[in-house]
Amino acid sequence: MSVFWSAVVTLVILLNIIGCYLLIRWVAKPNKGEAKQGEVTGHVWDDNLKELNNPMPRWWLYMFYISIVWGVIYLLMYPGFANYPGLLGWTSDKKYSDEVAVANETYGPLYSKFAKTPLIELSENKEANLVGQRLFVNYCAQCHGSDARGSRGFPNLTDHEWIWGGSPENIKTSIADGRNAAMAAWESVLTPLQIGYLADHLMSLTGRKHKATDAQRGKALFANYCAACHQADATGNPLLGAPNLADKIWLYGASRNKIIESISKGRTGHMPAHKAFLGEDKVHILAAYVYSLSSH
């Protein structure tokens, strides 16, 4: 923040504090001509309900003044006035770093112990899986769900279908380095009729209701436009992140309309890399836990 805007923010804060003080002084000061304490003010409701002049207790008024003083002290001790760093030198980044340092000192040896264990063996360790589960809930459940069964656009991690491969090493790579997938949009290349043929062909692969003649036309189109990524039998290619289209698992929906939408508009998927902020040891434990979900 520039010096100018820092000064503006500080001024606004000070004016608000002063304004609060003056407002309290104004409302606490008796008005000229008003009824004395305990006397009727002249306001009457429902024929006989009279309002008496009963000011707030003095201790209550003093609490407002104490709150203002406390606020000023707080703003002086902590970075409350724009660019002003505060007398204590507190920052959220420093606080976070201190907490991480304490956590690493406390749990680091445990992570290091598990990091030396091969992934498959570690996936069968109950203690390690409890640690991995907590990591999963903190860093993965937002997308894949607390039960790891995913949702539309986010893969189910408890089955045996893996877009990028389900070996322990592939899972660890996915977590550590992330993944980026892209399904090309074909609406500018194929006509809506041809895209419909492709949809019928894909639906025929799993025995779902389809038009046989259209599915045959779609099979030829699939060989020309789709087999390069998804292979001729539509079983996919983990090296490219091309999913298996011959099973009943569809990441973005398996209805005919959703399949047509995927072909027409394309799809993009991004799995963020976690190695930079989790570290090698935590990624290792997390990978073992995720592997255990589909291997046991």
The 10s digit of each residue's pLDDT in 155-194 is 999 999 999 999 999 999 999 999 999 999 999 999 999 9
Exposed e or buried b per residue across 122-161, where buried means at least 16 C-beta atoms within 10 angstroms of its C-beta: bbebeebbebbbebbeebbeeebeeebebeeebbbbbeeb
Distance between CA atoms of 292 and 194, rounded to whole angstroms? 42
Give the contacts of 263 (CB within 8 A, at least 6 positions apart).
186, 187, 190, 195, 198, 199
Distance between CA atoms of 190 and 210, rounded to whole angstroms? 20
pLDDT tens digits, one per residue of 125-151? 999 999 999 999 999 999 999 999 999
Structure tokens at 267: 């799809």
99-178+272-295 with 182-271: one CATH topology?
yes
Structure tokens at 156: 């189910």
Nearest to 37 by CA among 65, 20, 64, 58: 58
* Phi, psi (degrees; rounded to nearest 5) at 112: -65, -40
Superfamily of domain 182-271: Cytochrome c-like domain (1.10.760.10)
CATH architecture of 99-178+272-295: Orthogonal Bundle (1.10)
- pLDDT at residue 109, as a whole number: 87
Tell how many helices (H) and how many strands (E) occur in the chain: 13, 4
The least confident of 98-107, 157-166, 197-206, 268-277 is 98-107
Secondary-structure breakdown of the chain: helix, strand, coil percentages, each rounded to the nearest 5: 55, 10, 35
Structure tokens at 84: 């002003």
Which residue in this structure is represented by tokens 């003080």?
21
How many other CB atoms sit within 10 Å of the CB of residue 191? 10
Predicted confidence band at 296 (pLDDT cuts at 50, 70, 90)? low
Instruction: Please state the domain extents for the chain.
Output: 3-77, 99-178+272-295, 182-271
pLDDT at 295 exceeding the cut of 80: no
